[in-house]
A = this chain, B = another copy of it.
Amino acid sequence: MGQDERFEIRIIGYARTPWRRREDAPHQPSAASDAAGVLEILPELAPGLADLEGLGRIWIVALLDRSSGFALRVKPPRGGPKRGVFATRAPNRPSQIALSSVALEGLDVARGLVHVRGIDLLDGTPILDLKPYLPIVDAWPDAGHGWLEPYLEAGVEPKLRKPYRPERS
């Protein structure tokens, strides 16, 4: 303990999304509900995508490779005091891991492609894992939002660092 402990982890593919710059990416998947993306899974792992069809949503565990270090307390986009980084979904975090559930729109197992909607990842983000979203273990609508609750009740929206300007590609 005390010193950095690290582990080598495998990348399974990359996200192709409309979000090219950090300042354009949405703060939460819900803010990106219309953004379509494609997950390109490495050819040797593509057969592991079988049976995803029929699922409404999937989890993407991704590596925020363009996050720039981290602070232990971060300023939330909805305002208020700084909060402990583990009590937020801020992208600058010790392990650089992102978790988002996205709607599954289409699947091409042979080519290793997963079409999704509602993606908040930057284009080119490495993907570490895909998992089925299973309401039986994942849906807890009454869990409460902790410190975020009053902001949600007051309808406070996240403030983007810069106004959104769509990329022309």
Q: Is the CB of A144 within 8 A of B8?
A: no
Q: Is the CB of B135 within 8 A of A138?
A: no
Evaluate whether A6 and B11 lie within 8 angstroms (CB atoms) in the complex, with A51-B87, A131-B86 already known: yes
Evaluate whether A9 and B10 lie within 8 angstroms (CB atoms) in the complex, with A2-B44, A84-B109, A85-B48 already known: no
Q: Is the CB of B52 within 8 A of A95?
A: no
A78 CB, min distance to chain B CBs, angstroms:
11
Q: Is the CB of B30 within 8 A of A136?
A: yes
Least CB separation from A58: chain B residue: B86
A167 within 8 A of B: no
Q: Is the CB of A84 within 8 A of B139?
A: no
